[in-house]
Structure 1
Amino acid sequence: MSELDADEMALWHAWKSAADTVRARIAEDITAAVGLSDADFAVLTRVAELGGGRLRQNALAESVGWHRSRLSHQLSRMEHRDLLTRHPADGGVEVHLTDAGHSLARRARPAHADAVRRHLLDHLDPTQRRQLRHALDALTDTP
């Protein structure tokens, strides 16, 4: 196979830079607003949204796309901060948000929405948004 040509390489670098930059800025805004790291936010919002405040640990790992050991370490850190608890359940583990975890998830959602608008959506007109969505869907639909 041949190497990427200059245009292909430029597109690849632009893709990586844009994705990394936007995600980092959104994470920084959430941290500044409510004190949650990107990983904290991912866990709290997934458990709140997918499980209504409780979710099996293996389902959580799948939804965030993390290896079990990474998730386990993250959950331990969050347990120590009283954001969640873990309980044995039917041969597995269920993650439960505490009141503090629920509260931070609720407070973080508007900060997340504002940051997504500021760092992504506001930079695109409606046509560009549709085109980007179409391109991203095409990328995720390919094996």
Structure 2
Amino acid sequence: MSTRTDLTANTDATTPLSLSERALWFAWKRAHEVLRTRIAEDVRSATGLSDPDIAILIHATDVDGTVRQNQLAVVLGWDRTRLSHQLTRMEERGLVIRRRVAGGVEVEVTDAGLEMVAAAQPVHAAAVRRHLIEPFTSVQVEHLRQALDRISAPDLI
């Protein structure tokens, strides 16, 4: 049984989006930008860390403070160039160090980076809860997570 709705019934590449499809697309774009901006601003105003800084620091500390650069790119969904430039900026500020190892590059969070992420994590958690989770019921949160997982990792579903 298909899980597609009438929104996905028309797959002809030459047919413009329907009004419902366009409304969904623009609602997604607007919601994504509003959430990203609000959460990033809450964290930046409290800690000085940018949205990319906190994403890297949280992911790296989730795996004991050291992660392969290529694994970080996959987890974040970033291309190698974007990640490399961001890591260079973070190295200049003393938040991470990179070192060549067999088969790649490891990124390690420094003591300064660990202090910053420790200060940022409660702010980040509160911002995510306030802007993304609290507007919904627990059932809606689970449905939203499942839908987003389906979009972002269709091969895992």
TM-score higher than 0.5 here? yes
- Alpha-carbon RMSD across the aligned residues, in angstroms, is 1.6
More helix by share: 1
1:23 to 2:58 alignment = no
Secondary structure class of the residue paired with 1:120: helix
Task: Give the counterpart of 1:101 among 99, 110, 113.
Answer: 113
Q: 1:141 to 1:91 in 2, by over 3 A?
A: closer
Range with greater deviation from structure 2 (124-133 or 24-33): 124-133
Task: Give the counterpart of 1:75 among 80, 87, 104.
Answer: 87
Note the residue ranges of structure 1 that are not aligned, 5 or more in a row.
Answer: none
Letter in 1 for 2:99: H
- 1:57 aligns with 69
Distance 1:115 1:30 in 2: 8
Higher relative contact order (CA 8 A, sep 6+): 1
Q: 1:18 to 1:73 in 2, by over 3 A?
A: same
Letter in 1 for 2:120: A
Letter in 1 for 2:71: A
Letter in 1 for 2:37: A
Note the residue ranges of structure 2 that are not aligned, 5 or more in a row.
Answer: 1-11
Size of the alignment, in residue pairs?
142
- 2:23 aligns with 10
> How far did 1:124 drift?
1.0
Q: Identity percentage over the alignment?
A: 49
1:116 to 2:147 alignment = no
> How far did 1:112 drift?
0.9
> How far did 1:141 drift?
5.0
- 1:88 aligns with 100
> How far did 1:136 drift?
2.4
CA offsets per residue over residues 35-91 of structure 1, 9 Å max, x none?
1001111111111112x1111111112211211111111111111101111112114
Distance 1:86 1:126 in 2: 40
Range with greater deviation from structure 2 (75-84 or 119-128): 119-128
Letter in 2 for 1:18: A
Secondary structure class of the residue paired with 1:123: coil
Q: TM-score, normalised by structure 1?
A: 0.90
CA offsets per residue over residues 10-54 of structure 1, 9 Å max, x none?
11111111111111111111101111001111111111112x111
Distance 2:117 2:17 in 1: 42
